[in-house]
Amino acid sequence: MQVFFQTLVGGIGFGAIYALVGMGFTIVYRTMGLVNFAHGQIAMIGAFVGVTFFLNSRLPFAVAVILSMTVTAAVGLVIEGVLRPLEAKDFDLMLIGTIGFGIVLEALASKIWGATGRAVPAPMDRPLHIFGIIVRTYDLVIIAVAAAATGLVWALLNRTKAGAAMQAVAMDREASTAVGIRVGRSNAMAFALGSGLAALAGTLAGPLLYVSPSLGSSLGIKGFCAAILGGFGNINGAIIGGLGFGILDGFAAGHFQQYSDLVTFLVFAVAIMIRPTGILGEQTVSRA
Amino acid sequence: MRFPSSRHRLLLAVPVCAVLALTQACSAPGSKTGSTSTSSPSPTSSSTTAGSAAPGPASPASDTSPIKIAIVDAQSGQSSSLGKWEYNGVKLAVDAANSAGGIGGRKVELTVFDDQNDPTVSTNLARKVASEGFIAVFGPAESADAIAMSPIMQQAKIPYITSGQSPALAKLGNPYLFLNSPTSTTYDATLAKYAVNTAKFTNIAMITNNDAYGKGEQGAFTAALKALGVTPVAVQTVTPDQKDFSAALTSIRQKNPDALFIGAEEVESGLIAKQARGLGIKATIIGAAPISTPVYVQTAGVQDAEGSVASTPYLSNDTTAQSRAFAAAYKAAYGDTAELHGAKAYDGAEIFLQALKATNGAGGQALADAVRAVKYQGLVGNFAFDETGVGVHETQIGIIKNGVLTPAGS
pLDDT value of position A158 = 86
CA atoms within 13 A on the CB side of A240: 15
pLDDT grade, residue A210 (50/70/90)?
confident
Count residue pairs from A and B with Cβ separation < 8 A.
Answer: 109
Contacts of A6 in chain B (CB under 8 A): 246, 250
Contacts of B81 in chain A (CB under 8 A): 116
pLDDT value of position B135 = 92
pLDDT grade, residue B191 (50/70/90)?
very high
Alpha carbons B383 and B376: distance in angstroms, whole number? 5
Per-chain mean pLDDT for chain A = 86
pLDDT value of position B54 = 41
CA terminus-to-terminus distance, chain A: 52
pLDDT at residue B24 is higher than 70:
no
pLDDT value of position B16 = 60
B249-to-A145, B159, B195, B211, B299 alpha-carbon distances in Å: 26, 41, 20, 19, 17
**Nearest CB to B247: which of A7, A90, A173?**
A7
Higher pLDDT, B247 or B109: B109
| Domain covering A2-274, topology | ABC transporter involved in vitamin B12 uptake, BtuC (1.10.3470)
A13-57 pLDDT, tens digit per residue, is: 889 999 999 999 888 887 777 888 999 999 999 999 999 999 888
pLDDT grade, residue B305 (50/70/90)?
very high
Query: Would you call A257 an interface residue with chain B, using a CB distance cutoff of 8 Å?
Result: yes
Contacts of A107 in chain B (CB under 8 A): 27
pLDDT value of position B22 = 53
The candidate with the shortest Cα–Cα distance to A86, out of A95, A74, A78, is: A95
What are the residues facing A73 on neighbouring strands? none
The candidate with the shortest Cα–Cα distance to B66, out of B33, B89, B40, is: B33
pLDDT grade, residue B134 (50/70/90)?
very high
pLDDT value of position B52 = 38
The candidate with the shortest Cα–Cα distance to B365, out of B375, B373, B354, B377, is: B373
Neighbour tally for B13: CB within 10 Å: 15
Distance from CA of B278 to the nearest CA of A (A): 7
pLDDT grade, residue B75 (50/70/90)?
confident
Residue A123's φ and ψ, nearest 5 degrees, are -65, -25
pLDDT grade, residue A286 (50/70/90)?
low
Q: What is the pTM of this model?
A: 0.77
pLDDT at residue A69 is higher than 90:
yes
Query: Would you call A82 an interface residue with chain B, using a CB distance cutoff of 8 Å?
Result: no
Contact check, Cβ <8 Å, A103/B23:
yes
pLDDT at residue A190 is higher than 60:
yes
List, in order of start, the domains of chain B with CATH numbers.
56-182+323-393 (3.40.50.2300), 184-312 (3.40.50.2300)
Q: What is the mean pLDDT of residues B172-198?
A: 92
Which chain B residue shows the shortest CA-CA distance from A252?
B247
Q: What is the mean pLDDT of residues B375-401?
A: 90
pLDDT at residue B59 is higher than 50:
no
The candidate with the shortest Cα–Cα distance to A43, out of A173, A204, A159, is: A204
**Nearest CB to A10: which of B239, B246, B251?**
B246
Q: Is the peptide bond before B294 cis (omega within 30 degrees of 0)?
A: no
Alpha carbon of residue B298 to chain centroid: 19
**Nearest CB to B239: which of A10, A107, A258?**
A258
pLDDT at residue B56 is higher than 50:
no
B94-113 pLDDT, tens digit per residue, is: 999 999 988 888 899 999 99
Contact check, Cβ <8 Å, B247/A253:
yes
Alpha carbons B50 and B115: distance in angstroms, whole number? 19
Contacts of A103 in chain B (CB under 8 A): 20, 23-24, 27
pLDDT grade, residue B190 (50/70/90)?
very high
Query: Would you call A208 an interface residue with chain B, using a CB distance cutoff of 8 Å?
Result: yes
pLDDT at residue A278 is higher than 50:
yes
pLDDT at residue A271 is higher than 60:
yes
pLDDT value of position B21 = 52
pLDDT value of position B278 = 83
pLDDT at residue B147 is higher than 80:
yes
pLDDT at residue B28 is higher than 60:
no
Per-chain mean pLDDT for chain B = 84
Contacts of A116 in chain B (CB under 8 A): 77-78, 80-81, 267
Name which of A44-58, A76-90, A136-150, A233-247 the model is least confident about.
A76-90
pLDDT at residue A207 is higher than 80:
yes
pLDDT grade, residue B399 (50/70/90)?
very high
pLDDT at residue B26 is higher than 50:
no
Residue in A12, A55, A92, A93 to test binding to B, most B beta-carbons within 10 Å: A92
pLDDT value of position B33 = 40
Instruction: Give, to the nearest 10 degrees, the angle between helix B184-193 and helix B212-227.
Output: 40
Q: What is the mean pLDDT of residues A137-161?
A: 89
B284-296 pLDDT, tens digit per residue, is: 999 999 999 888 9
The candidate with the shortest Cα–Cα distance to A30, out of A268, A239, A277, A287, is: A287
Percent of chain B with pLDDT over 70: 84
pLDDT value of position B4 = 53
